Amino acid sequence: MSGNIQLLADTLARAKRENRAALIAGLPAGFPTVDGGIAAIRAVLDHGADVVEVGLPHTDPVLDGPVIQTAVDIALRGGVRIGDVIRTVREAHRATGKPVVVMSYWNPIVRYGIERFTSELAEAGGAGCILPDLPVQESAPWRLAAAARGLATIFVVAPSTTGERLQEITAAGSGFVYAASLMGVTGTRDAVSGHAADLVPRIRQHTDLPVAVGLGVSTGAQAAQVAAFADGVIVGSAFVRRLLDAADTHADDQGIPAVSELTAELSAGVRRLTR
């Protein structure tokens, strides 16, 4: 294992030694602006997030709910490009020394070029990529290019994923497994789906990779609930919602304090002695 994939592995392993889950924060690049997005990402890393997931804005974010879709639309209308995503990764990693992964749909990477994208992401200090719509049976070109540059390939599994598919997906993946806690799109929920607690042990039957749970977590209490059985807690929409709320009230300067406050709450949640 080499490059920043080792940093990712070490970060997740350290959280496990501390008897807690890792907090993985997700924010799209270019939202509310490129510089504003970098500032928000640095804020969550500075206030307790262990890993950050930088979203690559796409015109057809079919797996994302209305909150993320709104942010992505703002980023795209602002002219964000893949180069800005790479810059966001570079500046976030250099400023904090923490692992940064990219969340991207497959089409933008193919159009940009697999070799070009993996090379630039690795050079920027990226630790890997979450690819929610890349079928594992079609992933060999990506995995070869990523592995050659020390990048993790993180696949998403759902409650409906069969045992046979779990075996195939986890064997091909690296870094960690992204466990979607429910069927549906991203977004905050009043309660964490009960499917998550069932899905995590099913995944662990097939792999020793850490398992991080996402979709629906928005409070410290929910983070603590998921941290009781998962290796990582992934939060995205709740951060975006804080930034959108600040913009809606014409208080853009309050966006950074808002996401910082939420990060501190979630960080305390994953550190509660719930295991």
Which amino acid is present at 86? I
Task: Return the active site residues.
Answer: 53, 64
Q: For the sheet with 128-130, list strands across it.
A: 152-154, 128-130, 100-103, 51-55, 22-28, 232-235, 211-214, 177-180, 156-157
How far is residue 29's CA from residue 193's CA, in Å, rounded to a whole number? 28
Q: Residue 53 pairs with which residues in a beta bridge?
A: 26, 101
Q: Residue 213 pairs with which residues in a beta bridge?
A: 179, 233
How far is residue 238's CA from residue 188's CA, in Å, rounded to a whole number? 6
Determine the angle formed by the axes of helices 114-123 and 140-148, rounding to 10 degrees: 30
CB–CB of 93/4 below 8 Å? yes
Of the candidates 151, 56, 186, the residue with the CA atom closest to the CA atom of residue 108: 56
